[in-house]
Amino acid sequence: THTADTAQPDIIDESLALFRPNSLFRNFEIKGPADRVLIYLILFIGDCLGKIAQARTWTAQDALKHLTTHALAHFALPGEPGFPLNQVFQGPAAGDRVGADALRAYLVHARQETVLRLVEQHVYNKQDESTEGGARPSKWWMAFQVRLRADARRSRSENASAPYGATCMHGEQECRGNTSPVRPGIDTGTRHTQFVQCMNYGDTTKIGSEAAAKQCARVVGREWTEQIASCVEGKQGRSLLVESLRRAERLDVERSCTVLIEGEQVCVHDGSWKSCPGGHEVRDFAREVREAWDKVNRGESRLDDDE
């Protein structure tokens, strides 16, 4: 076993050093695996800079917190749908769970370490005068932000020619089911939430079928009328779905269910709880809501635990 020389730059140092010059190029000569990792990390760095730019007001601490969460979030591996470089990467063999887990563990570690060095040594480096002592992002780094998504794994995307105005991972029935939460015939508020819960409680393979929608409409005290049915299949349902997709895009929501407080992602449930730095219990969400409320309403009375 060879021990790495910590005094020498590693692949992460090299990616950070080459990010700005390489962000000006569209073509790269790939000579081996190291070049592929380099390209992947350059894309990830650009993704992180885009998030810092979008937030605008992040301190170094904010950036480290949110980007670490982003680094740990689920992302596509080579060979999986949504991985941005499938044309140049060869993923683990089909069914090779051990290989896939090892690759994911390596990339998670690389992403975490990249975030740490990017924030502390570069974007918020106190020696950079443009950061004003580390209080704001470096204008030199932000000038090179690349809005390429390193791990965008969208289960839905806009598609004007598709029947519902979108392409869904599991086909048209999923798109049809995705019109359920935005359907105007099922009121917003408690009844809307109950309808969604009903759809998710039963056989999820039936989400999108009219039979399941009719049954859940009755559960929440509404009749499945022709007006609601025509909305689902017509222009209104299509436009509502596309509007929902655009809103999810603006909020950077990639997984269902994603919990946001004041527009910031605080937790994701996708088979299990993930990317929840503040915890995922009810008391954790209550605390984060209180903190967000206090931050927005500074100078006013605090929100008590029972409010």
Phi, psi of 264 (to 5 degrees): -105, 135
Domains of the chain (ranges; CATH) run 11-142 (1.10.1760.10), 156-250 (no CATH), 258-296 (no CATH)
**What whole-number percentage of the chain has pLDDT above 90?**
20
Q: pLDDT class for 152, splitting at 50, 70, 90?
A: very low
Phi, psi of 111 (to 5 degrees): -65, -45
Over range 241-258, report the average pLDDT: 76
The predicted structure's pLDDT at residue 197: 63
The predicted structure's pLDDT at residue 91: 83
Inter-CA distances, 175 with 161, 162, 207, 247, Å: 13, 10, 10, 16
Q: Which residues does 112 contact at the CB level (< 8 Å), separation at least 6?
A: 68, 71, 72
8 Å CB contact between 50 and 57: no
DSSP-derived 3-state class of residue 128? coil
The predicted structure's pLDDT at residue 248: 77
For residues 273 and 181, the model is more confident at 273
DSSP-derived 3-state class of residue 58? coil
* H helical segments located in the chain: 11-22, 33-55, 60-72, 97-117, 139-142, 172-178, 190-201, 210-219, 226-233, 235-250, 282-296
Residue 77 has pLDDT above 70, yes or no: yes
The predicted structure's pLDDT at residue 23: 65
- CA 74 remoteness from chain centre: 8
d(CA 13, CA 287): 37
